[in-house]
Amino acid sequence: MRLLATVRSSRLLPATPHEDNSGSHYRFRADRWYGGIATADVVGCGLLCKFCWVSESILERPDSSGQFLAPVEAAQKLLRVAISRRLLQMRLSGGESTIGRLHLLSVLSETEEQRRFRFILETNGILLGADPSYCSELTAFRCLHVRVSLKGSCEDEFEGLTGANGEGFKQQLEALRNLRDVGVSCHPAVMSSFSTERDICQLRGRISKIEHKLANEMELEELIRYPRVERRLQRLRLTPNVSHDPRNVPERLI
């Protein structure tokens, strides 16, 4: 059982020729989530979530996927999407953007100058939980909101859904504590499709010990059955308690 997918993570940013703060992206797009948002999909993650919607080709070959871009290039592409579609929000998604720390901080710096946009950082939070100084660096960005995506409701679920050691789940919760301690806007989201109501209630109790407000704001994420997700779950013989057709996602989840 892996503590984290450290071997995979080490392949995400090769030592050469990308020793600067460039980062790998495979797509820039407008999407419906959060009421409409410009999205940059990044390459690479330290986890192998069984419900992940990213294609196998990108998950399994991160070092040969996407294109390395300087932060200013990535920010400009995001801004073009946002402006052309009249969107007031932007995000990084698709992979774990906190792995490329310098790139992420530089992209945030570039977009922070455009005060009219809200930036949503989607992350599993593990690196933010492991290093409080990372959260402190995020305090420089007043337009930032962090969505910490919990992979299940407890350590055992985390292990079953990601294949990583359950200690990683504690780091996810610690990320919420670290972000709260330095005053960075954040909220938890939990993949709840494999949990019981009791599991969710117990998780809410754990989060309330960090801060009641965070527990009250916990977002319940439910599985969307994209074709590749269905194939993966069937292969792994994993059945969600709740799921949705991508053509009929409830408004409360968008």
pLDDT one-digit tens code per residue, 65-87 = 788 999 999 999 999 999 999 99
Tokens of residue 56, six digits: 């196998």
Query: Is residue 198 pLDDT above 60, yes or no?
Result: yes
3-state secondary structure of 51: coil
Do 47 and 5 form a contact (C-beta atoms < 8 A)?
Answer: yes
- Per the prediction, the chain carries an average pLDDT of 89
Local confidence band at 58 (pLDDT 50, 70, 90 cut-offs): confident
Local confidence band at 20 (pLDDT 50, 70, 90 cut-offs): low
What single string gives the DSSP state of each residue in 203-252? HHHHHHTT-HHHHHT-EEE-EE--HHHHHHHHHHT---SSEE-TTS--GG
Residue ranges per structural domain of the chain: 6-13+21-253
pLDDT one-digit tens code per residue, 142-193 = 999 999 999 999 999 999 999 999 999 999 999 999 999 999 999 999 999 9
- Position with higher pLDDT, 58 vs 168: 168
The pTM of the full predicted model, rounded to 2 decimals, is: 0.89
- Position with higher pLDDT, 167 vs 11: 167
Query: What is the assigned CATH class of domain 6-13+21-253?
Result: alpha beta
